Structure 1
Amino acid sequence: MNSEIDTPNSSSNQWLQTYYFLRAGVSILWIVLAVVLGKHHPMIGAVLLVIYPAWDALANVIDARRSGGLSKNPPQKFNFIVSVIVAIAIAGALTISMNATIKVFGLWAIFSGVLQLSASVRRWKTSSGQWAMILSGAQSTLAGVFMFKQASSAMMLDVTTVAPYAAFGVLYFLISAIWLLVKNSRDRSAALVR
Structure 2
Amino acid sequence: MPSQKPDTLAQASNTWLKSYYFVRFAVSAAWVALAFTVARTMPPLAAIMLVAYPAWDALANFLDAQRTGGLSRNKSQLLNFVISALTTLAVAVALTRSMNTVLAVYGVWAVLSGVFQLITAVRRWKTNGAQWAMILSGAQSALAGLFFVKMAGGIEDIGITNVAPYAAFGAFYFLVSAVWLTVSDILRKSPRTAS
Normalising by the residue count of structure 1, what TM-score does the alignment of the two structures yield? 0.95
1:69 equivalenced with 2:70 (yes/no): yes
Structure-2 separation of matches of 1:44 and 1:137? 27
* Matched residue, 1:51: 52
Q: Is the 8 A contact 1:5 1:187 kept in 2?
A: no
Q: Is the 8 A contact 1:13 1:128 kept in 2?
A: no
Deviation at 1:188, TM superposition (A): 2.8
* Matched residue, 1:141: 142
Deviation at 1:170, TM superposition (A): 1.1
Q: Which runs of 5+ in 1 are unaligned?
A: none
Q: Is the 8 A contact 1:106 1:146 kept in 2?
A: yes
Structure-1 separation of matches of 2:112 and 2:101? 17
- Residues 5, 187 of structure 1: CA spacing in aligned structure 2 closer, same or farther, 3 A cutoff? farther
Structure-1 separation of matches of 2:39 and 2:103? 15
* Matched residue, 2:160: 159
> What percentage of residue pairs aligned between the two structures are identical?
51
Deviation at 1:191, TM superposition (A): 3.0
- The aligned amino acid for 2:69 is G
Alignment size in residue pairs? 193
- The aligned amino acid for 2:193 is L
* Matched residue, 1:177: 178
Q: Which runs of 5+ in 2 are unaligned?
A: none
Secondary structure of the equivalent of 2:62?
helix
Deviation at 1:134, TM superposition (A): 0.5
Secondary structure of the equivalent of 2:37?
helix
Secondary structure of the equivalent of 1:7?
helix
Deviation at 1:190, TM superposition (A): 2.8
- The aligned amino acid for 1:12 is S
- The aligned amino acid for 2:104 is K
Structure-2 separation of matches of 1:68 and 1:4? 16
- The aligned amino acid for 2:65 is A
Secondary structure of the equivalent of 1:155?
coil
1:113 equivalenced with 2:111 (yes/no): no
Deviation at 1:37, TM superposition (A): 1.5
> Can you list the C-alpha shifts for 1:140-185, whole angstroms capped at 9, x where unaligned?
0000011111111001111111111011111111111111110112
* Matched residue, 2:16: 15
Deviation at 1:189, TM superposition (A): 2.6
- Give the CA RMSD over aligned residues: 1.6
